[in-house]
Amino acid sequence: MLLVETIGKSGLDAAISAALVPWRKPRTVHDPGKILLDVGLAVALGGDCLADVGMLRAEPAVFGPVASDPTVSQLISTLAAGGQRVLAALRTAPRQSASCVRGELQL
């Protein structure tokens, strides 16, 4: 729960979502930023593969809606195909979230 709250309070969730807008397909249900953060949370909780987001799915009151395994896998494939463009976009997110915490940037 502490990780989830920290991500939200720091603005990292909004910053990653904003960074991944170019890779969000029209009419998608799950936000790519949330999916990527869910994968990170699963790893932080001891997971070692994409399917381990299932442990988050088992606790919707804590983690909210979590994408299905095929959706997670498809996003990771899409982001991997984006290569350096995706990495450059994701590198901006921590700076944006830090600015948001200091009140310098409103997302």
| pLDDT by 10s per residue, the chain, length 107 | 888 888 888 888 888 999 999 999 888 899 999 999 999 999 999 999 999 999 999 999 999 999 999 999 999 999 999 999 999 998 887 666 554 544 544 43
Which string of b and e fits 37-63 if b means at least 16 CB within 10 Å? bbbbbbeeeebeebebbeebbeeeeeb
Domain that holds residue 26: 2-102
90 is a domain residue: yes
What integer pLDDT is reported at residue 85 of this predicted model?
Answer: 93
> With 0-12 CB in 10 A as exposed, 13-18 as middle and 19+ as buried, what is 19?
buried
Residue 107 lies in a domain: no
Structure-block tokens of residue 48: 């070692």
94 part of a folded domain: yes
**89, part of any domain:** yes
Domain count, the chain: 1
Does residue 78 lie in a domain region?
A: yes
